[in-house]
Structure 1
Amino acid sequence: MFPIEDFRVLNYFGQIVDILLVTYVVYKLIMIIRGTKAVQLVKGITVILAVWLLSSFFGLRTLEFIMSQTVTYGLLAIIIIFQPELRRGLEQIGRGKLFSSRSVPEEDLIQKSINSIVKASTYMGKRRIGALMSLERETGMNDYVETGIQMNANLTSELLINTFIPNTPLHDGAVILKENTILAAACYLPLSENPFISKELGTRHRAALGVSEVTDCVTIIVSEETGNISLTKNGELHRDLDEEQLRMLLEKEFLTDTKQTSSSRWQWGGKKNG
């Protein structure tokens, strides 16, 4: 028989493994909903729980009763509200992707992707081929990817150009890019409701501004009427960009300035430089 000390060690080891597993699963679940509408809902639930605890602490019986009823019946509401995220999580479990790690693209791969985007935008601008391309960053865009046709293809300028050729099945809508991959085409983006947008801007510009208001993505627009190239980020519109200006903006957003620190890494979805 094993001594009692061995059982205690095994018990402690089991508790540590249990905590680590639960922590990892929670982390992966957070990664699934990160950047989606579910994040705002989680914040709302956190506020409700905080109010419930405070009302109990200060003896606010009526408010405590209301909050307790909200929490009691909130499980069903959570299932209904988080249905898209729950479905996406179950699909990832089924595909074995829940515990997969996310690789970080290398510097040359990022630069190659930027070159492809700039080349395609310039080509389409000269020929007045309308285009709308959203580049995902920290905020996930799975909600919008699911509205289009999934491609999961390697990013090349030729493929981008062919996608937006008029009268082809995928030309209408937005292309969503992630790192060096074309996730989907013919996607629907939310239109901006800003009343101060110039009346001369069309649906593509309004969609680009709209998605930049609810995510941190960078969106490139090529006007079908004028061939001008524009870029939106954080609700801001940069119009009439030439090839070099577009390249500079993309590099500023997606390339980390290695001169600031020798330990910094190149990240396609990194924060913009200060």
Structure 2
Amino acid sequence: MLGGGLDILELLRVGVDIALVWYVLYKLIMLIRGTKAIQLLKGIAVVLAVWLLSIAFNLQTVQWITSQAIGWGLIVIIILFQPELRRALEQLGRGNIFGRSARSEEEIIQQNIEAIIQSCNYMAKRRIGALISIERETGIGDYAETGIPINGKLTHQLLTNIFTPNTPLHDGAVILKGETIVAAACYLPLSESPFISKELGTRHRAAMGISEVTDALTIVVSEETGNISCTKNGELHRELDQNSLSELLRENLSLNVKSSEKKTKKRRGSNDG
């Protein structure tokens, strides 16, 4: 009986040990994601693979070269990636390395919102027509494929420049995903609803159309009036000022809203079942 209890405790200890190591590794990978250190990890994996193959096939020269590379690799890593290591140690000292992912994502959302608002206000004052569709839970990659790939970081300068009149990409919709401008000059499905006002043009019908088939948030800047509108779930919000647009974006793009919507969908699914 005592032996069985010790075995369970030993298994629990090993499980906690492995879980902690994997958690730390995961956080470190998230920390260096998007930096040049990722390429370093790929290079290390290649060197280790070659080293193991050289041992398996008794390739002595290759084994000696890879052994030297591994032996001196730590010093090379410290020299080449001193800024990344210093930043990681600073964050560890501030105690926020393990809470970095959630906060950084919130910061990214806030920066995206500010870029969109700044761009829309600029275009509205100058009556530059624009159609911006923001992907949420439902993927809209099929519509992005109808346009020209951009895959650039979202900034108000780039977003505004795309819609500048008489440029190759100004006609059509821009599709955003996270902090990335995925594509421009995209075709969106036009709404067939008879309740849309006749005074609204193709951009508004396209914005309504995409909102009827996905949960995307789509912003329209009118070329005729300079008014800003937004569609979501088949609803059209017209004549938005800066504060209204900012509030609407924050309500629909924040992490808390996304997580609550996921919970709501799960509850609905269980109730349907």
- 2:243 partner amino acid: E
What CA distance in whole angstroms lies between the structure 1 residues aligned with 2:197 and 2:260? Answer: 31
Matching residue of 1:155: 154
- Aligned-residue sequence identity (percent) comes to 64
For 2:120 and 2:151, locate their aligned partners in 1 and report how far apart those are by CA, in whole Å. Answer: 20
Query: Are 1:188 and 2:187 matched, yes or no?
Result: yes
**Residues in 2 aligned to 1:160 and 1:256: alpha-carbon distance in whole angstroms:** 23
Q: What is the CA–CA distance in structure 2 between the aligned matches of 1:161 and 1:109, rounded to whole Å?
A: 19
Shift of 1:113: 0.4
Q: Which residue of 2 aligns with 1:227?
A: 226
Q: Is the 8 A contact 1:254 1:270 kept in 2?
A: no
| Counterpart amino acid of residue 147 in structure 1 | T
Measure, in 2, the Cα distance between the counterparts of 1:198 and 1:271.
30
Structural mapping, 1:1-274, within 5 Å: 106-257=105-256, 271=261
Distance in 2, matches of 1:124 and 1:273, equals 37
Q: CA deviation at 1:270?
A: 7.5
Deviation of 1:255 after TM superposition, in Å, equals 1.1
Q: Residues 253 and 271 of structure 1 are in contact (CA less than 8 Å); yes or no, is this contact kept in structure 2? A: no
How many Å apart are 1:154 and its aligned residue? Answer: 0.0
Measured at CA, do residues 195 and 225 of structure 1 come closer, stay the same or move farther in structure 2, by a change above 3 Å?
A: same
TM superposition shift of 1:271: 3.6
2:132–2:176 Cα contact (<8 Å) kept: yes
How far residue 272 of structure 1 moved from its aligned partner, in angstroms, is: 9.0
- Higher helix proportion (structure 1 or 2): 2
| Stretches (4+) displaced over 3 A | 269-274
TM-score under structure 2 normalisation? 0.57
Find the aligned partners of 1:273 and 1:220 in 2 and give their Cα distance. Answer: 26
CA RMSD of aligned residues (A): 2.1
Secondary structure of the 1:213 match is helix
**1:256 deviation in Å?**
3.7
Residues 157, 271 of structure 1: alpha-carbon distance in 2 compared, 3 angstrom cutoff: farther
Q: Hey, what does 1:12 align to over in structure 2?
A: none
| 3-state SS, counterpart of residue 183 of structure 2 | strand
Cα 1:223–1:116 shift into 2, 3 Å: same
On the 8 A contact 2:220/2:228 being kept in 1, the answer is yes
Displacement of 1:142 after TM fit? 1.0
Between 1 and 2, higher relative CO (CA 8 Å, sep ≥ 6) is seen in 1
Residue type at the aligned position of 1:108:
E
Q: 1:270 to 1:232 in 2, by over 3 A?
A: farther
CA contact (8 A) 1:114 1:251 kept: yes
Please identify, of 248-257 and 200-209, the stretch whose mean Cα deviation from structure 2 is larger.
248-257
Q: TM-score, normalised by structure 1?
A: 0.57
Aligned length: 163
Greater Rg, structure 1 or structure 2?
A: 2
Deviations 1:178-211 (A, max 9, x none): 0000000000000000011100000000000000
Which amino acid in 1 is paired with 2:139?
G
Q: State the SS of the aligned residue for 2:165.
A: coil
